[in-house]
Chain A
Amino acid sequence: MRFTWMAGAAALALVFDSAAAQDLIFPPGEDDRFNWQSYEAFAAEDLSGQALTITGPWTGADKALVDSMIAYFEAATGAEVDYSGSDSFEQDIVIAAQAGSAPNMAVFPQPGLAADMARRGFLAPLGADTADWVRENYAAGESWVDLGTYADANGEDHLFGFFFKVDLKSLVWYVPDAFDEAGYDIPETMEDLKALTRRIADEGGTPWCIGLGSGAATGWPATDWVEEMMLRTQPPAVYDDWVSHAIPFDDPRVVGAIEEYGWFARNDAFVSGGAASVATTDFRDSPAGLFTFPPECYMHRQASFIPTFFPEGTEMGYDVDFFYFPAWADKDLGKPVLGAGTLWAITSDSPAARAFIEFLKTPIASEVWMAQSGFLTPFKAANPDAYATDAARAMGEILLNATTFRFDGSDLMPGEIGADAFWKGMVSYTTGDSAESVAEGIEARWQSIR
Chain B
Amino acid sequence: MSPMLQGLFTILIGVGACVGYFYLSNLLLDRVLFPPRGADPGRNISRANAVRPWLFLFPAMGALGLYLVYPVVGSFWRSLFNRSGEEFIGLGNYAALAGDEAFRTAVLNNLLWVLVVPAAATFVGLVAAQLTDRLSWGNVAKSLIFLPMAISFVGASLIWKFVYTNDADIGLINAIRAMLGAGGPVDVLQIPFWNNFFLMVVLIWIQTGFAMVILSAALRGIPEETVEAAILDGANPFQIFFRIKVPQIMGTIVVVWTTITVLVLKVFDIVYTMTGGNFGTQILPSYMMSFMFRDDGRATAVAFVIMLIVLPVMVWNIRQVRKEMQ
Contact = CB atoms under 8 A, between A and B. Distances in A.
Contacts of A424: 276-278
Nearest to A441: B101
B228 to A, nearest CB: 56
Contacts of A274: 184
Contacts of A423: 276
Contacts of A416: 290-291, 294-295
B276 A280 contact: no
B96 A276 contact: no
Interface string B247-271: 0000000000000000000000000
Q: Classify the secondary structure of B's interface with A.
A: loop
A216 interface: yes
Contact of B166 (A277, A420, A428): A277
Contacts of A277: 166, 187
Nearest to B89: A450
Contact of A218 (B82, B276, B294): B276
A273 B187 CA distance: 11
A439 B312 CA distance: 39
Contacts of A276: 166, 187, 190
Interface residues of A, number: 25
A428 B82 contact: no
Contacts of B272: 216
Contacts of A279: 190, 278-279
B189 interface: yes
A218 B278 contact: yes
Interface in A210-225: 215-219
B83 interface: yes
A427 B278 contact: yes
Contacts of B273: 215-216
Interface string A410-450: 00001110001001100110010000000001000000111
B295 A217 contact: no
Given A273-B166, A279-B190, A428 B278 contact: yes
B294 A448 contact: no
A448 B291 CA distance: 12
Contacts of B276: 215-219, 423-424, 427
Nearest to A414: B294
Contacts of A450: 82-83
A423 B273 CA distance: 15
A83 B278 CA distance: 41
Contact of B190 (A280, A420, A441): A280
A450 B83 CA distance: 8
A212 to B, nearest CB: 9
A427 B83 contact: no
Interface string A192-219: 0000000000000000000000011111
Interface in A272-330: 273-274, 276-277, 279-281
B295 A449 contact: yes
A415 B101 CA distance: 20
A273 B186 CA distance: 10
Interface in B270-324: 272-273, 275-279, 290-291, 293-295, 298
Contacts of A218: 275-276, 278
A277 B184 CA distance: 11
Contact of A280 (B189, B277, B294): B189
Interface in A258-280: 273-274, 276-277, 279-280
A415 B276 CA distance: 16
A415 B294 contact: yes
Contacts of A448: 96, 295, 298
Contacts of B189: 280
Contacts of B295: 416, 448-449
A280 B187 contact: yes
Interface string B93-136: 00010000100000000000000000000000000000000000
Contacts of A273: 166
Nearest to A212: B278
A431 B190 CA distance: 8
A427 B279 contact: yes
A141 to B, nearest CB: 35
28 contacts: A215-B276, A217-B276, A218-B275, A218-B278, A219-B278, A273-B166, A276-B187, A277-B166, A279-B278, A280-B166, A280-B187, A280-B190, A414-B294, A415-B293, A416-B290, A416-B294, A420-B294, A423-B276, A424-B277, A427-B276, A427-B279, A428-B279, A431-B278, A448-B96, A448-B298, A449-B83, A449-B295, A450-B83
Given A216-B276, A450-B83, 12 more contacts: A276-B190, A277-B166, A277-B187, A280-B187, A280-B189, A416-B295, A420-B290, A427-B276, A427-B278, A427-B279, A448-B295, A449-B83
Interface of A: 215-219, 273-274, 276-277, 279-281, 414-416, 420, 423-424, 427-428, 431, 441, 448-450
Top 7 nearest A-B pairs (CB, nearest first) are A427-B278, A218-B276, A416-B294, A216-B276, A420-B290, A415-B294, A216-B272
